Amino acid sequence: MKAGAIAQEIFNAYPNHPGAAHYILHAFDDPIHAPLALSAAKRYARIAPAAAHALHMPAHIFIQHGMWAEVVASNIDSYQAANTIWQERNGFTPTKRFYIDFRVFHALDWRMYGYLQQGDYTNARQDIALVRPVIEKSKVPFIKTAIGHWNARYIIETEQWVKLPITADTTPSELFATGMSAMKTGDIPTAEKVEVRLQ
């Protein structure tokens, strides 16, 4: 609250200050305090329209309000801006640039979640398909495990109960989704295997 109050005072005096808007969003990024950041969230993208992170950050507040269309729109814009910036600087294609730019990956992660909350399963599946070949080639650990998290999220949010193969590389998220799927479909032996692995 103290950090948010300091940032809000600066933002009130300088409404085009990107740092003030940014810190307001971080300070009030929870369900209780998010209403205090809504005006900064709506303004931040206009302050820095070419900055991928500035376009993404309002989604942190929109998500707390259940503003799913705005969450998706913020991350569509963020994804496009990150692509534009890196293509102009490096001549990389979006697929190659996944290796080095977290911002694109982060925007798609949030965009997919927004699609799921809207019940737009087609676009959510397309986002999974978009990143799958990049994730499979990546050597970055948190990106390597991401497809497992995305698959699990899709299963749980859509309630399309699918039991994923349990291997040595299965992520905790995939195990959890498989365990839920097993319970929902009455497959107690698989649920028990998952329980042992999760423990």
SS3 139: coil
Q: Domain coordinates of the chain in residue numbers? A: 2-144, 160-199
Domain 2-144: top CATH class: mainly alpha
* Exposure string for 97-122, b = 16+ CB within 10 A, e = fewer: bbeebebbbbbbbbbbbbbbbeeeee
| Torsion (CA) 117, 123, 124, 127 in degrees, nearest 10 | -140
Rounded to 10°, the helix 121-137/102-118 angle is 150
Angle between helices 172-184 and 146-158 (to 10 degrees): 20
Query: If you average pLDDT over every residue of the chain, what do you get?
Result: 90
Helix axes of 102-118 and 146-158: crossing angle, nearest 10 degrees: 10
Q: What is the pLDDT of residue 99?
A: 46
d(CA 2, CA 133): 44
Cβ-contact 174, 148 below 8 angstroms: yes
pTM score, whole prediction? 0.87
The pLDDT of residue 94 is above 60 = no
In tens, the pLDDT along 33-85 reads 999 999 999 999 999 999 999 999 999 999 999 999 999 999 999 999 888 87
